[in-house]
Homo-oligomer: A and B are copies of this chain.
Amino acid sequence: MDPGSDLPEEYARVRALTEALAEPLSAEDQTVQSMPDVSPTKWHRAHTTWFFEEFLLAGEDRDYRPFHPDFRYLFNSYYEAVGPRHARTERGLLSRPGVAEIAGYRAYVDEAVNELLACPPERGAEVAILGLNHEQQHQELLLMDIKHVLSVNPLRPAYLSPAGTTEGARPGMPTVSGSASEPVEAQWLEHTGGIIEVGAGSEGFAFDNERPRHPVILAPFELAARPVCCGDWLAFVHDGGYRRPELWLSEGWAAVGREGWTAPLYWAEAEPGWDIFTLTGPRPVDPAEPVCHLSYYEADAFARWAGARLPTEEEWEAVAVSYRPECGFLDPGVLHPRPAGTGAIFFGQVWEWTASAYLPYPRFRPGPGAIGEYNGKFMINQQVLRGGSCATPSGHVRATYRNFFPPAARWPFTGLRLARDPS
């Protein structure tokens, strides 16, 4: 969102969406942490609230009294400057506070924020906008995380009913759909290279890691017009992709052996073919839809198999900047990657692994104080992803947006797009 918009209205919209996303989930669903990377739904609801409490209310409102003295400890995620905090790996051990108390926490903070936003002090609007972008990130995390939680349950329960059925269709909530189809032909977009500028300019909201804007040299390259699709991936699998060490980075090949990977996360062998677990439950893989839930290692191996490579984040941005993202689950109402359209590059169905390590841009400066821990301290051992996914809130991303995950991460909505050097 942009500071130009109506901040209180935007605040209400974003905060309500979080609650709408949690609404189909029972108290039990909201409590489970299925692996260390995952946080319980009710933790996301509380942590995003704490962010406003800690950085907006405690910082800008001297009369504010915290909702509960221990929440600063319980719901601080990783801000060392704020103080000690509950262990990340133990979020699923907390039955209290329960979902009802967390709803009360959200209402309490919303009231105080609304009062503040009626006449925001200096820096307050800026922090509020960061808080809303932060909460949008957690909306996607909430969906990634609950998908994993449900996936480890042998009952294979759905988060939502498939579109077209009545069950689970609630006002204001996304609906979903899916039907098998043929992928569109892969096409290559040519770029002449040269000196280009990348990164966010100084106007408008962007995370600190997108700045400053700076020049880079690019050699001529070609970028695929659509992400790699499940049909492409099936060809890789059938060609022994997961059994040929020459295609893999050494760490990736070790992961294949250790984890027993034979397909993307959430794929399961079925008769015939493969099933895929989605937020609407299991169904057959659709060859036309972008392949999703891949590690960087798999993306990299696929590119090598295809005689291509992953784009750098600068190459990606150089092309993407002229397109509008088509992500956002609110508008299209989809929580699974849709088959790529024809005729136009688009991004926004899956996060696309790039060949670039997640490192600071030249002259990068993190924000002041605890807020400075938001991005900068994670700039090691991660790869940049560009684009945006079917689980990214509408309006949240842009061509300069830098997402990042460790190379082994598969539970985000991760996919890939090929690049190649002109011959």
Contact = CB atoms under 8 A, between A and B. Distances in A.
A81 B245 CA distance: 8
A384 B171 CA distance: 53
B27 A26 contact: yes
Nearest to A90: B152
B380 A407 contact: yes
Interface in A55-103: 70, 73-74, 78, 80-81, 86, 90, 92-99
Contact of A92 (B92, B96, B154, B297): B92
A123 interface: no
Contacts of A26: 27, 95-96, 98
A142 to B, nearest CB: 14
Interface stretch (A179-187, A209-217, A390-398): A209-217
Interface stretch (A160-168, A228-236, A356-364): A356-364
Interface in A311-336: none
A377 interface: yes
A261 interface: no
A98 B215 CA distance: 55
Nearest to A379: B249
A81 B154 contact: no
A309 to B, nearest CB: 8
Interface stretch (A28-36, A283-291, A344-352): A28-36
A296 interface: yes
A130 to B, nearest CB: 19
B381 A92 contact: no
B93 A149 contact: yes
Contacts of A80: 245-246, 253
Interface string A355-380: 11101101100000000010001111
Contacts of A73: 154
A251 interface: yes
A105 interface: no
A119 interface: no
A95 B407 contact: no
B355 A359 contact: yes
A118 interface: no
B78 A250 contact: yes
A217 B195 contact: yes
B377 A81 contact: no
Contacts of A174: none
A52 interface: no
A95 B27 CA distance: 8
A380 B251 contact: yes
Nearest to A296: B380
A80 to B, nearest CB: 4
A308 to B, nearest CB: 13
A95 B251 contact: no
B250 A377 contact: yes
B95 A29 contact: yes
A217 B216 contact: yes
A5 interface: no
A95 B381 contact: no
Nearest to A100: B26
B251 A29 contact: no
A217 B361 CA distance: 13
A154 B407 contact: no
B378 A250 contact: yes
A401 interface: no
Interface of A: 26-32, 34, 42, 70, 73-74, 78, 80-81, 86, 90, 92-99, 149-150, 152-155, 157, 195, 214-217, 219, 245-246, 248-253, 296-297, 300, 355-357, 359-360, 362-363, 373, 377-381, 383, 407, 421
13 contacts: A27-B98, A29-B98, A34-B93, A73-B154, A78-B250, A80-B245, A81-B245, A93-B149, A97-B155, A217-B217, A219-B362, A363-B421, A380-B407
